């Protein structure tokens, strides 16, 4: 196991190379996450190269209501616009759903679809039905690749017996990890009223999860096909249109009428990794691409 320090909170990470447990994060101390940890959720190392702006860097303008560019290795923010402001994050909520599930279950468990809430005609879903059975890892793929709301609800009920009980776990996790600007009301991120988070909290949550190799593989997958244990196929295509382009290797989309366009990405170029977050963006994909290009064109690592 390798340790991860997030603002004083020491975690133990299980490296998942064929291991049965997700085991992403095991708390081994009761230290609280302080406010600074939301700005620096990753461990720093003096041996790593740090991003330095080039001479006469070009300015960047971002239309999103909140936005962050973060160097994942050094813990340096390259750009921050209203990172601590509360706003809806839509299906990026599913990152917290994933964290709760991964912290308590094994990928090979069998999920039986319970009495999940009925979704609207235009809600994102794969169309699972009552009593169908799936390996949990496949439900996680539906949750994170296709952003399926029915998969989110099925996982929540499988874990806790009800949506409300699962939401209580989500908010307990948010408190545990010091996400002080987050409140969850359902596992999918659909507009319900009372839900909110912030770009800082999304950054911290995404960084936490991205340390897990199974999660990392799932959110880096452009398309896949899963099967119920009864043999019914379901095709999954990522909602992240940037994935596989411009150095983007993973993460999660979100969109509702209330939240606007939201996106968290991880991009890698020349051995350096950055994370971007945009909330309530007029064009989440174009703005995220522009933020990624701006970062690598205007900073050098030394």
Cβ contact 201:88 at 8 Å: no
Catalytic residue among 37, 147, 182, 197, which?
147
Q: What are phi and psi for residue 123, nearest 5 degrees?
A: -75, 145
197 catalytic? Reply is no
Is residue 91 part of the annotated active site? The answer reads yes
Six token digits for residue 19: 């291991």
Q: Is 235 a catalytic residue?
A: no
Alpha-carbon gap, residue 44 to 93, rounded angstroms = 27
Pairwise CA distance, residues 88 & 92, whole Å: 9
Which of the following is catalytic: 37, 74, 88, 94? 94
The residue from 37, 65, 88, 91 that is catalytic is: 91
269 φ, ψ (degrees, to nearest 5) = -145, 135
* Residue of 27, 24, 7, 28 whose CA lies nearest to 75: 7
Which residues lie across from 233 on neighbouring strands? Answer: 227
Give catalytic residue positions: 91, 94, 147
């Amino acid at each position: 196991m390798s340790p991860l320090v997030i603002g004083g909170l020491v975690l133990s990470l299980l490296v998942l190379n064929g291991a049965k447990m997700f085991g992403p994060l095991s708390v081994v101390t009761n230290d609280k996450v302080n406010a600074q940890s939301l700005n620096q959720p990753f461990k720093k190392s003096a041996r790593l190269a740090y991003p330095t702006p080039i001479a006469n860097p070009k300015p960047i303008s971002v239309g999103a209501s909140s936005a962050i560019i973060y160097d994942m290795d050094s813990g340096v923010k390259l750009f921050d616009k209203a990172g601590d402001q509360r706003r809806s994050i839509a299906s990026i909520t599913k990152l917290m759903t994933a964290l709760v599930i991964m912290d308590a279950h094994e990928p090979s468990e069998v999920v039986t679809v319970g009495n999940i809430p009925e979704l609207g005609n235009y809600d994102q879903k794969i169309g699972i039905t009552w009593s169908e059975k799936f390996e949990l890892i496949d439900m996680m793929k539906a949750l994170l690749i296709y952003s399926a709301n029915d998969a989110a609800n099925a996982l929540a009920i499988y874990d806790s017996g009800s949506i409300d009980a699962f939401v209580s776990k989500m908010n307990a996790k948010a408190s545990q990890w010091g996400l002080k600007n987050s409140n969850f009301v359902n596992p999918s991120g659909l507009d319900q009223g009372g839900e909110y988070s912030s770009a800082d909290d999304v950054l911290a949550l995404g960084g936490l999860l991205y340390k897990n190799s199974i999660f990392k593989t799932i959110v880096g997958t452009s398309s896949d096909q899963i099967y119920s244990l009864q043999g019914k196929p379901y095709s999954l295509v990522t909602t992240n249109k940037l994935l596989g382009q411009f150095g983007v290797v993973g993460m999660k989309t979100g969109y509702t009428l209330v939240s606007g366009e939201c996106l968290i990405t991880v991009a890698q170029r020349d051995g350096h990794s950055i994370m971007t977050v945009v909330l309530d963006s007029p064009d989440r994909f174009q703005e995220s691409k522009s933020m990624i290009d701006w970062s690598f064109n205007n900073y050098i690592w030394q």
